[in-house]
Amino acid sequence: MTETAEKLFRNGDLSDEELTALIMDNDSDVSEMIRRHADETRRKYYGNKVFLRGLTEISSYCKNDCLYCGIRRSNHDAQRYRLSHEDILSCCENGYKLGFRTFVLQGGEDSFFTDGFMCRLISDIREKYPECAITLSLGERSRESYRLMKNAGADRYLLRHEAASQELYSKLHPAEMSLEKRKRCLYDLKELGYQVGAGFMVGAPYQTAEHLVADLRFMQELQPHMIGIGPFVPHHNTQFAGVKGGTLELTLRLLGIIRLMFPKVLLPATTALGTIAPNGRELGLMTGCNVVMPNLSPENVRKKYDLYDNKLSSGEEAAECLEKLKKSIADIGYQAVSERGDYVDYV
Ligand code: SAM
């Protein structure tokens, strides 16, 4: 298997069979080799920089019913909140003072956040912080909505495709949701000039190595600027409550493979990775990740954005503990920077 990993590092195109075998292999020597190559590759394009993004979770209302998600509409025990225009601006103000130069606004699909609301908000953030990047992650909207928000000043959009295999997508989502629509949104966003992020959960229920190969192939076709992957973590109020979550080992294996297949991509060490292992974030950064997204939401709502059980939102995951986070990043040989952190070739 080391030859396959070496071939990937040397920019060799792996066959589906080779990729499947590399995903399924759990030899620790191969993992270490992938980790070293992934680290070398990230350093080639981004040095030892780790880009910080301030994440504000603007709403826990969601009209969707993704079977795995804690804020799905049919979870009647979920605590719902939405932030106001002023709340969100004050999160940005706080984030700016802390040194963030990218603001990420994420939320469930909440019809309260109309195009008018979003465009006014984005224009206000753009005017106050002209040098900062604005990233949105608000799910599926019309091409026109994406266009209006781009014109108002948004730069990037995160929309995980969730599962590129139709068979797996249908097992994780209700019939009213469509993989085709999700993919269309991603292509619309790309055509409109956003820096685009796709991604998926690792170790999702029913997921096989072949499904993961389909995810990698879809992303090769889309060529996203950002890739968000993290372990699936069960939520107690979903039908997957008792199901085994994604493992640290498999998530790291995928992160390393992704860094080698998409050398210039912006790759976060996600909150979910930090949630399943105390040193998950650090291991992610050592395996090709170059982004972290501490939580800037008001403290009284953080626990309510409850996507999965035990989701971290305090300590180094919280924006106010940034100095601690920066130190733990420095301790493993990287440098957290106050920069927009655009995709290296983005013009
Ligand atoms: N509504 C937006 C969207 O659909 O892209 C953004 C919010 S959505 C809750 C953010 C991400 O949370 C999803 O893309 C999904 O992959 C992740 N997520 C949801 N439930 C999860 C779980 N149980 N374990 C890990 N990640 C989960």
Compute, in degrees rounded to 10, the torsion defined by CA atoms 121, 123, 125, 130: 170
pTM: 0.97
Q: CA–CA separation, 212 vs 81, rounded Å?
A: 34
Q: Residue 126: what pLDDT?
A: 98
Q: Which of 156, 229, 307 best tests ligand 1's pocket when mutated (most atoms within 8 Å of CB)?
A: 307
Distance 328 CA to ligand 1 centre (A): 26
Q: Residue 316: what pLDDT?
A: 81
**For residues 107 and 113, is the Cβ–Cβ distance under 8 A?**
yes
- Which uninterrupted H or E stretch holds 173? none
pLDDT by residue (tens digit) across 282-326? 999 999 999 999 999 999 999 999 999 999 988 888 878 999 999
First to last CA, the chain: 38
pLDDT by residue (tens digit) across 45-79? 999 999 999 999 999 999 999 999 999 999 999 99
pLDDT band at 141 (very low <50, low <70, confident <90, very high): very high
Q: What is the mean pLDDT of residues 248-252?
A: 98
- Whether 276 is in the pocket of ligand 1, judged by its Cβ within 6 Å, is no
Q: What is the mean pLDDT of residues 250-264?
A: 98
High-pLDDT (> 90) share of the chain, %: 93
Q: What is the mean pLDDT of residues 116-138?
A: 98
Q: What is the mean pLDDT of residues 86-112?
A: 97
Q: What is the mean pLDDT of residues 113-139?
A: 98
Q: Residue 315: what pLDDT?
A: 80
> What are the beta bridge partners of residue 230?
201
pLDDT above 80: residue 12 = no
Distance 32 CA to ligand 1 centre (A): 29
Q: Which of 56, 64, 69, 73 best tests ligand 1's pocket when mutated (most atoms within 8 Å of CB)?
A: 69
> What are the beta bridge partners of residue 50?
336
Q: CA–CA separation, 60 vs 3, rounded Å?
A: 46
Question: What are the Cα distances from residue 166, in Å, to 84, 210, 228?
Answer: 37, 12, 20
* Among protein residues, the one whose CA lies closest to atom 2 of ligand 1: 139
- Whether 216 is in the pocket of ligand 1, judged by its Cβ within 6 Å, is no
Q: Residue 206: what pLDDT?
A: 98
Distance 272 CA to ligand 1 centre (A): 10
**Amino acid symbol at 311:** K
Sheet holding 291-292, edge to edge: 291-292, 49-52, 335-337
Q: Residue 72: what pLDDT?
A: 98
Distance 30 CA to ligand 1 centre (A): 30
Tokens of 167: 């068979």
Residue 55's SS3 state is strand
Pick the closest to residue 88 from 106, 71, 101 (CA basis).
106
Q: Which of 173, 201, 238 best tests ligand 1's pocket when mutated (most atoms within 8 Å of CB)?
A: 201
Sign of the Cα torsion 202, 252, 190, 11 reads negative
Distance 68 CA to ligand 1 centre (A): 8
pLDDT above 90: residue 177 = yes
- Whether 307 is in the pocket of ligand 1, judged by its Cβ within 6 Å, is yes
Going along the chain, which residue ranges are E strands?
49-52, 54-59, 102-107, 133-137, 156-158, 195-202, 226-231, 291-292, 335-337
Q: CA–CA separation, 183 vs 126, rounded Å?
A: 28
Q: Residue 320: what pLDDT?
A: 82
Question: What are the Cα distances from residue 176, in Å, to 37, 134, 169, 200?
Answer: 42, 30, 12, 19
- Which uninterrupted H or E stretch holds 142? none
Q: What is the mean pLDDT of residues 245-262?
A: 98
**For residues 255 and 223, is the Cβ–Cβ distance under 8 A?**
no
**For residues 95 and 106, is the Cβ–Cβ distance under 8 A?**
no
Q: CA–CA separation, 312 vs 306, rounded Å?
A: 10
Phi, psi torsion values for 264, nearest 5 degrees? -100, 5
Give the residue carrying structure tokens 């080639």.
44
Tokens of 102: 């990218």
Q: What is the mean pLDDT of residues 128-155?
A: 98
Q: What sections of 47-157 are H helices per DSSP? A: 85-98, 115-128, 143-152
